[in-house]
Amino acid sequence: MATLKIKNLNKTYPNGVHALDDVNLEISNGMFGLLGPNGAGKSSLMRTLATLQDADSGTVTLNDIDIFKHPTELRKVLGYLPQEFGVYPKVSAEQLLDHVAVLKGVSNSKERKELIHYLLNKVNLFDKKGQNVKGFSGGMKQRIGIAQALIGNPQLIIVDEPTAGLDPGERNRFHNLLADVGQEVIIILSTHIVDDVRELCSNMAIMNLGKIVYQGSPIAVMDELKGKVWQKSIERNQIEEYKNNFKVISDKMVAGKPIIHVYKETNPGDGFAAVDPNLEDVFFTKVYL
């Protein structure tokens, strides 16, 4: 079993932004969700773990590999799907994976071909192996991105904002693929989409302004909020009034009318009804209250 240990990690950029503020995490096999709003520091953490940038202080180890002292050793067992997975303009899916396999040290051409065909089958793109990747849909590009991340039997796979821009069908297919892969390795899923974490991850952390503000299971943190989240349907022109008088966790439109969730230890009255907390309630409570 692989274990990733992140201790006291700090990173400040030249413009003064403290992107990583004393980050501590321990992650084992399976899907781990890293949730946070845009600008929370998620991508900074992912780039640091992928050895694409140095930290100012702190340590990261994957099993017995110190990733800052031995970045090459980490890269041998790392799969990385960045937020923007760039592709060469006139390269087929098979050629792209072949190129990555060569870079990852798979030198035997017969072994490479077998591996590439296996991966193309795994991500359901074998019948598209001769097509140019640039013409693929967003979901197909993400699937070829996962295929390249799986080359070399990685122990750690980092996936940064993987479902942004995917339609519901592509998102479901991608979720199934990640869940299948994540049984045997560590997959860190960095996202601002709450449902991605709720549907896929047994453990998670919430990040805001460079800090970890929660780590644990989605179920446990939702249990913490039980009996403290209240719901009410209001008029659109009442939103500001309620925000001034209550700790409003979220407001969303349902059938043309706003439904608000508020946080309170006891029943606020005024027509509010108790509601089972969801992960979105957790997210807004940890980040904004």
pLDDT of 87 > 80? The answer is no
CATH number of this structure's domain 3-218: 3.40.50.300
d(CA 125, CA 174): 12
pLDDT at 20: 97
d(CA 67, CA 188): 16
- Mean pLDDT for the chain? 91
pLDDT > 90 in the chain, percent: 63
In tens, the pLDDT along 1-28 reads: 889 999 999 999 999 999 999 999 999 9
pLDDT at 27: 96
In tens, the pLDDT along 153-169 reads: 899 999 988 887 778 88
In tens, the pLDDT along 210-229 reads: 999 999 999 898 899 999 99
Strand 186-191 with 156-160, pairing: parallel
pLDDT at 102: 92
pLDDT at 183: 77
Alpha helices in the chain (DSSP H): 42-49, 71-76, 93-103, 109-122, 138-149, 168-181, 194-200, 218-224, 239-245, 279-288
d(CA 278, CA 242): 21
pLDDT of 182 > 80? The answer is no
pLDDT band at 196 (very low <50, low <70, confident <90, very high): confident
* SS3 label, residue 136: coil
In tens, the pLDDT along 230-285 reads: 999 999 999 999 999 999 998 888 888 899 999 999 999 989 999 999 888 998 89
Q: 10 Å Cβ neighbour count for 246? A: 18
* SS3 label, residue 4: strand
In the numeric block, which tokens belong to residue 82?
């960045």
Is residue 281 within 8 A of residue 230, CB to CB? The reply is: no
What does the DSSP assignment read for 219-265? HHHHHHTTTSEEEEE--GGGHHHHHHHSEEEEEEEETTEEEEEEE-S
In tens, the pLDDT along 99-109 reads: 999 988 898 99
pLDDT at 72: 92
Is residue 165 within 8 A of residue 142, CB to CB? The reply is: no
pLDDT at 56: 97
Question: Per-domain residue ranges for the chain?
Answer: 3-218, 223-288
Phi-psi label, residue 218: left if phi above 0, alpha if psi -120 to 50, beta otherwise = alpha
d(CA 195, CA 198): 5
Global pTM reads: 0.85
